[in-house]
Structure 1
Amino acid sequence: MAAETKQSCYEGSSVSSFQFYLERSGEHEAILRCVRDVLPREFKRTGADKSSLDVLGVGSGGGQVDVQMLTMLQSTNPGVPITADIVEGSSELSDNFRALVEKTPNLEKIPFAWNIMHSGDYEKAVQAKGNMKKFDFIHMIQMIYYVDDLADTIKFYHSLLKSNGRLMIIVEGEKGGWDTLWKTYQKELCVDAITQYRSSGEVIACAKSLGLKYEELPVPNQFDITDCFDPSSQTGERLLNFMTAKDNFYESLTPEIRSGILDLLRHKCSTEKDGRVMFDSKLSCILIHA
């Protein structure tokens, strides 16, 4: 799911687990399809008559989506100077992001400010400093699960928007496979970095309660979890470990819970297509207006 946790974030073996999931799930490709559809017009509108543009990425992980968005922002606003502030708790993924920036044409023109910290710590640091930098575009992709207080987090980052700016939150879709799995088994799964599972439903409810104007766009995605039902499959076990946020799915949960999760994954979270079990991993893109 996301690339940030409160304590350790993705470091060491968890980075390889995260990368494995990305390769199998097609999640970044689905997100990129969405941003390519949505952001050019948003960036054109946001950048109209601006002499400079400032971007904040929160929980940016290895930067694969960020570099695409920044390249898009450059192309829709040619010649306009851009700054990028990045908040990411994982030093390993931040190093990957830096390496990607060096390999991406034209991004050397963008000054980056790297904040290797959890988003809550960034919030405290900014508030302590008092002089808050404002941004034209802020994005929080697959990281909202790890914040302590959802309403406070959205309110804070919304307060950093310049006039006409946008806060983009991408999160698992309500009533999708992730939402069904984690809410059904929240007692067993919400015990470590994620203590309260959230999907687009909670984000939308929060935006409404704060009186914020927003629009929601679906991000369809599904991936093959057939191997999860073969106990001898290493691929299946690695997917189950990631999907349940357990180091070892088979040893961490009782036989009854394991059986229940597998039954739920097959019958409530997925559809069958040509003999393959396809997990509904739909997401939602929520654009909150300044």
Structure 2
Amino acid sequence: MAAETNKQSMYEGSEVQSFQFYLQHSGEHAAVLRFFREYLPGEFKRIAADKSNLAVLGVGSGGGELDVQMLSLLQSVCPTLPISADVVEGSTELVANFKALVAKTDNLEKIPFTWHVMLSEDYKKQVKDVKKYDFIHMIQMIYYVDNLTETIKFYRSCLNKNGRLMIIVEKAGDGWDLLWRTFSKQLCNESNITYRSSGDVLASVKTLGLQYEEHSIPNTFDITECFDPNSETGQRLLRFMTATEDFSRSFTPQIRADMLKFLRSKCSAEKEGKVYFNSCLSCISVHA
């Protein structure tokens, strides 16, 4: 998964629809939620020890589907502690979706939200008196920052004692990483697109000398229809996976054939006539 590195969020209008279509077919959020239920209760108990309140920051939170689940889980783990939530998100459309989701989610009316409708880069520059947080999460958003190491350094500096910065990103060496690094010339040059995986995050974390833990989030999804040029579902998935307007027109016939062959042979596994894309994620938890 990648993103344009200019100052505009890619998730407005048709891009929101493309992203939501991908989520419906990939099972990515379901995989992340399974991980949350296993991993976060223990983390939240440790973070909350000796605290009188808890402050959470979501950076690049999109439509808030994962945020509301995390906040509800935090409430269940720490029912007596007041919780506040700040959100940094550059897409006005997704912020509106997030607010609507909050309004219909039980118990979240108890949490005061502060909305920063801007990109992470602008938040770093514009917010002078930066609030301290106990838990900061950056899920599938590191493609949108100019300087990864400086971004991690900044948000880690915003942590309270015993806090955690949780970064979730595509896992190095898995399907997304193999596809985008192998075809970087075709996928990254025309639209000023960058690609990053957990390997890049770990390199930055190690450069900064920070303590961290890494956890794998397994996931696969069916891309069989991507190999049928007449399948609308397949073409829409390929549009998102290659960050192009139209996969069938964006590359030469040879490049398209090479990508499809690579997707099938190197990025996926076949089972019972279906092709399943390896889309594992990595959770990197940086200590305060």
User: Are the equivalent residues in 2 in contact too, given 1:217–1:285 (CA < 8 A)?
Assistant: yes
User: Are the equivalent residues in 1 in contact too, given 2:4–2:194 (CA < 8 A)?
Assistant: no
> For residues 103 and 180 of structure 1, what CA distance do their matches in structure 2 show?
39
Using the TM superposition, give the Cα deviation of residue 196 of structure 1 relative to its aligned residue in structure 2, in angstroms: 2.5
Unaligned stretches of 5+ in structure 2?
none
Using the TM superposition, give the Cα deviation of residue 255 of structure 1 relative to its aligned residue in structure 2, in angstroms: 1.2
1:137-152 mapped onto 2 (5 Å cutoff): 137-152=135-150
Aligned counterpart, 1:159: 157
Choose which of 249, 255, 258 in structure 1 pairs with 2:256: 258
Using the TM superposition, give the Cα deviation of residue 194 of structure 1 relative to its aligned residue in structure 2, in angstroms: 6.2
1:177-256 mapped onto 2 (5 Å cutoff): 177-191=175-189, 195-256=193-254
User: Are the equivalent residues in 2 in contact too, given 1:4–1:143 (CA < 8 A)?
Assistant: no
> For residues 206 and 243 of structure 1, what CA distance do their matches in structure 2 show?
25
For residue 90 of structure 2, what is the amino acid of its counterpart?
G
1:1-290 mapped onto 2 (5 Å cutoff): 1=1, 6-126=7-127, 129=128, 131-191=129-189, 195-290=193-288
TM-score (norm 2): 0.97
Backbone CA RMSD of aligned residues: 1.4
Unaligned stretches of 5+ in structure 1?
none
SS of residue in 1 equivalent to 2:193: coil
User: Are the equivalent residues in 2 in contact too, given 1:4–1:59 (CA < 8 A)?
Assistant: no
SS of residue in 1 equivalent to 2:118: coil
Alpha carbons of structure 1 residues 11 and 192: separation in structure 2 relative to 1, 3 Å: farther
> For residues 190 and 63 of structure 2, what CA distance do their matches in structure 1 show?
22
Deviation string, structure 1 residues 212-243 (Cα, Å, up to 9, x no partner): 00000000000000000001110000000000
For these two proteins, the number of residue pairs brought into alignment is: 287
> For residues 53 and 74 of structure 2, what CA distance do their matches in structure 1 show?
11
User: Are the equivalent residues in 1 in contact too, given 2:54–2:82 (CA < 8 A)?
Assistant: yes
Using the TM superposition, give the Cα deviation of residue 167 of structure 1 relative to its aligned residue in structure 2, in angstroms: 0.2
Runs of 4+ in 1 over 3 A off after TM superposition: 1-6, 191-194
Using the TM superposition, give the Cα deviation of residue 13 of structure 1 relative to its aligned residue in structure 2, in angstroms: 1.1
Alpha carbons of structure 1 residues 25 and 234: separation in structure 2 relative to 1, 3 Å: same
User: Are the equivalent residues in 1 in contact too, given 2:4–2:10 (CA < 8 A)?
Assistant: yes
Deviation string, structure 1 residues 81-133 (Cα, Å, up to 9, x no partner): 1110001111111111100000111100111111111110111112xx2x221
> For residues 36 and 185 of structure 2, what CA distance do their matches in structure 1 show?
34
Alpha carbons of structure 1 residues 191 and 109: separation in structure 2 relative to 1, 3 Å: farther
> For residues 4 and 262 of structure 1, what CA distance do their matches in structure 2 show?
23
